[in-house]
Amino acid sequence: MKRLLTITTVLMLIMNFSLTAQTPDLDEFIATFEDFADDAAPSMPILADVGLRWSDSYIGGFPHFGVGTSLGFVVVPMDDIEGFFTNLGVTEVPKELKDLGGLPVPATSVEARLGGLILPFDFGIKAGYIPEFAKDSFNDVSVDYKMFGFDMRYRVMKEGLLMPEISVGAGYTYLNGMVSTSVGETTTISDPDPDPTIGPNNNLGNLTFNSPDVVFGWRSNVIDAKVQISKSFLFILRPYIGFGVSYGVSEVGGGYDADVTTDTGNGVTIQDWKNKYGSDFDDIDSDGATVYSEANGASFRAYLGTSVELLFAKLDLSGTYNPVSGAYGGQLNLRAQF
């Protein structure tokens, strides 16, 4: 039953975007959803990499420090989402996604970095969220986003007249995001296995989702290791290149956010649905239903960029690419660094 809810959720979302879909085979859909989650997993570390990417491979020891903000994105490749749409019976993937080459997922960050004591290292911390007043300001779409992370970098080569600066680092990032849109129409699901001869609570009747919002969300914990090389030119430019390896433990899923009611006239409750169908109804309560699938995986990325430096102000632009999955992204950072 949980799987039926997931199918209905995705189909309603597709209908909301004025696409034509037909009910897919249950087993095929589940396999498709799991494949999509697995394909999306390598993109999560790129999204987690937004923030704390500074052109300086090492900012210097204490009291050197800096504060700034970043805006970035990652595009889940079209190959990873096209099969998802096709197996759901969608006749055509939206043109906007085709033009971008995939599904874009944004991220934001505010951050700070502080030079270490004695040893040549620095430590950074970052956080990102969407304020309450802005969550419902995107027309009919509501968004939520939370992120927290930190890293530490150690300088292994000091910059010289001809030599670049090289550092190695490691860090951790937690991501939690959600996108929802209103379906508007009440959705009713009937008991898939009624047996009225046993008693009223074995013929559960209908489970009703009143004016539901369709929700798509993701959660991810990412551990990351990286190496970065940078070199200052003309005192105003600092190009850099880096390589990173990450492992993400992620969940991707969706469902309904709605007022859920049952045929209470027959004495049926949501607990009766749970008792009859067991774990299939673990994620259903009076506020709706959501279903998540695990999507764990390792990821490799290469990135390059440059900063323009005017006194203490630095504007940093960079791009990222995963040569294995084809996922790509970019970010813009503005900071004050001392």
**Average model confidence (pLDDT) across the chain:** 79
The stretch 312-324 carries a mean pLDDT of 94
Please give the domain boundaries of the chain with CATH numbers for all domains: 2-337 (2.40.128)
Give the pLDDT confidence of 28-68 residue by residue, as tens digits. 555 665 666 666 667 777 888 999 999 999 999 999 999 99
Strands (E), the chain: 65-77, 102-115, 121-129, 141-157, 165-182, 187-190, 206-230, 237-262, 284-285, 288-310, 313-321, 328-337
The stretch 256-261 carries a mean pLDDT of 80
Residue 250 has pLDDT above 50, yes or no: yes
Q: Please provide the DSSP assignment of 40-92 as one string.
A: HGGGHHHHHT-S---S-S---STT-EEEEEEEEEEEEEHHHHHHHHHHTT-S-
Q: What is the rounded (10 degree) CA torsion for 214, 216, 219, 225?
A: -170
Taking alpha carbons only, the member of 127, 125, 120 closest to residue 153 is: 120
Give the pLDDT confidence of 281-292 residue by residue, as tens digits. 566 777 777 666
The whole-angstrom separation of Cα 128 and Cα 16 is: 29
Of 98-102, 168-172, 329-333, the one with minimum mean pLDDT is: 98-102
Give the pLDDT confidence of 8-27 residue by residue, as tens digits. 344 444 444 433 334 344 44
Global pTM reads 0.77
CA distance readout (Å), 230 to 53, 58, 174, 244, 310 = 12, 9, 27, 15, 17
Residue 155: pLDDT band with limits 50, 70, 90: very high
Of 15-24, 66-75, 247-256, 261-270, the one with minimum mean pLDDT is: 15-24
Give the pLDDT confidence of 102-137 residue by residue, as tens digits. 777 778 899 999 999 999 999 999 999 877 666 655
